[in-house]
Chains A and B, each alone.
Chain A
Amino acid sequence: MEIVKTENLTFEYIRRDEEDNVEGITTAVDDVSLSVEHGEFIAILGHNGSGKSTLAKHINAILYPTEGTVWVDGNDTKDPDKLWTIRNTAGMVFQNPDNQIIGQVVEEDVAFGPENMGVPTKEIWERVEESLKVVGMYEYRKSSPNRLSGGQKQRISIAGVLAMHPKCIVLDEPTAMLDPIGRKEVIDAVRGLNEVEKITVILITHYMEEIVHADRVFVMDKGHIEMEGTPREIFSQVEKLKSLRLSVPQVTELAYKLKKRGLPIPDGILTTDELTEALKRCR
């Protein structure tokens, strides 16, 4: 069974004026059907306003579809009895690290999720220790979140979700507010979750570099899924990505330009190493 499955998911934001009359309808997600298998690393890519964050909020039952259905681990998100099961199955990490940390001490924040689930005290301590070690923040367990860097705070948020032992973690642009070092810390932690802990990861981002390690990539634009495939398949279509206002990683761009000038380089180069190998073969 798929961990996440959507069928003809449509979501409309309805704007109302002061007298509650409908002013206009914005379709943020338009007829999206996708399915995610257990243990996959999925990246959802899109420009601002492409509907990717709205889609993410459906997986955690924060938003409900206007039309269509979303299933998380077989549970329909519209079923009110399953709400808390769904939220414990699919954890969510948000963009702004400051606005999702509740505790005044790191370990207390990580414990917030398990506390809500009614986990016994002794087990909470075990979960806190384990999750902080996974994201490499165990030595900061007694610190105040205010003293940490953005990347560290975001890793705490990930640990907080991890402590709930979810089957799937949705990360909604977790690196958008971070500097390059913080971004690398967070992405490394996310890859660890997927590769070592075998948790399904759905990463929402507009940074191309971050999707290189994904198993599958969905590219969204104007509420639709425009492209779907492995990172290599996606990156080999440089022209199409550009038409969706997305830029490819520098090395892919360089390879693409060299190829256009007539060098025999394969499509979809993802890393510097691959490009050097390809260039060596050219000589």
Chain B
Amino acid sequence: MFRDITLGQYYPVDSCIHRLDPRVKLFGTLIFLISLFLTDNFIGYIPALIFLISVIALSKVPFKYMVKGMRAILFLLLLSVVCNLFLTRGDVVFSWWKLKITKQGIELAGFMAIRLSFLVIGSSIMTLTTTPNQLTDGLEKGLGFLKIFGVPVHEVAMMMSIALRFIPILVEETDKIMKAQMARGADFESGNIVKKAKSLIPLLVPLFVSAFRRANDLAMAMEARGYRGGKGRTKLKPLKYKGRDAVAYIVIFAYLSVIIALKVIF
């Protein structure tokens, strides 16, 4: 049942957003997030909204998948709205007992709610249209310049992709150990949180032991196949910019300049 687990929530359709180079998507997401923080009035959100809607339409991913990501931050969203609503000083519009709602409070609450939802939707578009594999490749190539400063970019990317490969294996193994211990009378279900957490110890110990053993085996297998770090490596699927990636970069920069222009004018 855990065999198909994937991190993130890649939605497999063929669209022009899916086909973009992962570096473009990473950069675009970053610019979009920055633009949200640059904007401090509602007018600035109009180009952001247009940008977001057109990307969603182009990606062919059903809108409900984007909203799914919202559920995770629903509590955060409500908290921020409530705090902004009641704790902002200004012209009182409505008051009851000690609680006062101000005009500025309403504005700020709405503003924050839009910013948060745009943040989540914007970044989920990236994970929905990019496989974890492409993401690690994109990070490795896109952040390659950090190597000059001694950041082990290739190694980190390799670790990420190995982690992704082993998640389903370890999940399956956890399941197996759990069943083996339940067969011998272990109880993972009853009791309070502390008791439940304690009952996980006999599960985690064998899991860790086996994870270390696997890591050891894998390291040996990688060395036997001539792995010696990122130097001199070639790629089966090297990332290459195509025409559409250039167009995407132009669109991203155009969007950024609109945001900056609006910020300067208003």
* Contact indicator B223/A62 (Cβ below 8 Å): yes
* Contact indicator A62/B224 (Cβ below 8 Å): yes
* Contact indicator B165/A101 (Cβ below 8 Å): yes
Residue in A62, A108, A115, A147 whose beta carbon sits within 8 Å of that of B233 in the complex: A115
Residue in A118, A124, A125, A160 whose beta carbon sits within 8 Å of that of B225 in the complex: A160
Chain A residues within 8 Å of B164, by CB: 104
Residue in A98, A104, A146 whose beta carbon sits within 8 Å of that of B214 in the complex: A98
If A112-B225, A116-B225, A146-B168 touch, whether A96 touches B217 (CB-CB below 8 Å) is: yes
- How many angstroms between the C-alpha atoms of A33 and B150 in the bound complex? 46
- How many angstroms between the C-alpha atoms of A107 and B222 in the bound complex? 16
* Contact indicator B227/A116 (Cβ below 8 Å): yes
The 5 closest A-B pairs by CB, nearest first: A100-B221, A99-B217, A111-B236, A116-B226, A92-B224
Cβ of B260 under 8 Å from chain A = no
Residue in A87, A91, A107, A118 whose beta carbon sits within 8 Å of that of B232 in the complex: A118
Cβ contacts B190-214/A at 8 Å (1 or 0 each): 0000000000000000000000001
- How many angstroms between the C-alpha atoms of A68 and B132 in the bound complex? 47
Cβ of B220 under 8 Å from chain A = yes
* Contact indicator B218/A118 (Cβ below 8 Å): no
- For residue B169, which residue of chain A has the nearest CB? A98
- Considering only residues 125-180 of chain B, those with a C-beta below 8 Å from chain A are 132-133, 161-162, 164-165, 168-169
Cβ contacts B1-32/A at 8 Å (1 or 0 each): 00110000000000000000000000000000
- How many angstroms between the C-alpha atoms of A99 and B224 in the bound complex? 13
The winner among A105, A116, A120, A161 for most chain B CB atoms within 10 A is: A116
Cβ contacts B225-241/A at 8 Å (1 or 0 each): 11110001111111000
Residue in B165, B168, B217, B233 whose beta carbon sits within 8 Å of that of A116 in the complex: B233
* Contact indicator B3/A147 (Cβ below 8 Å): yes
Cβ of A117 under 8 Å from chain B = yes
Residue in A62, A84, A146 whose beta carbon sits within 8 Å of that of B228 in the complex: A84
B residues contacting the other copy or chain, number (CB 8 A) = 29
* Contact indicator A121/B217 (Cβ below 8 Å): no
Q: How far is the CB of A39 from chain B (nearest CB, A)?
A: 22
- How many angstroms between the C-alpha atoms of A106 and B234 in the bound complex? 17
Number of contact residues on A: which range applies? 35 or more
Residue in A60, A100, A124, A145 whose beta carbon sits within 8 Å of that of B236 in the complex: A124
Query: What are 7 A-B contacts defined by CB distance under 8 Å?
Result: A87-B226, A91-B225, A94-B221, A116-B228, A121-B234, A121-B237, A164-B225
Residues of A whose CB lies within 8 Å of any CB of B are 60, 62, 84, 87-88, 91-92, 94, 96, 98-105, 107-108, 111-121, 124-125, 128, 145-147, 160-161, 164
The winner among A112, A114, A146 for most chain B CB atoms within 10 A is: A146
Q: How far is the CB of B3 from chain A (nearest CB, A)?
A: 5
* Contact indicator B161/A104 (Cβ below 8 Å): yes
Chain A residues within 8 Å of B234, by CB: 114-115, 118-121, 124
Chain B residues within 8 Å of A96, by CB: 214, 217
Known: A60-B224, A114-B236. 5 other contacts (CB 8 A): A84-B228, A91-B225, A118-B233, A146-B3, A146-B169
* Contact indicator B236/A87 (Cβ below 8 Å): no
If A98-B169, A105-B133, A116-B228 touch, whether A121 touches B221 (CB-CB below 8 Å) is: no
The winner among B224, B235, B237 for most chain A CB atoms within 10 A is: B224
* Contact indicator A103/B165 (Cβ below 8 Å): yes
- How many angstroms between the C-alpha atoms of A24 and B164 in the bound complex? 40
Chain A residues within 8 Å of B238, by CB: 121
* Contact indicator B225/A161 (Cβ below 8 Å): yes
Chain B residues within 8 Å of A112, by CB: 222, 225, 227
Chain B residues within 8 Å of A108, by CB: 133, 236-237
If A60-B224, A87-B226, A116-B225 touch, whether A102 touches B165 (CB-CB below 8 Å) is: yes
Chain A residues within 8 Å of B133, by CB: 104-105, 108
- For residue A116, which residue of chain B has the nearest CB? B226
- How many angstroms between the C-alpha atoms of A35 and B236 in the bound complex? 36
- How many angstroms between the C-alpha atoms of A146 and B36 in the bound complex? 40
- For residue A120, which residue of chain B has the nearest CB? B234
Chain B residues within 8 Å of A118, by CB: 232-234
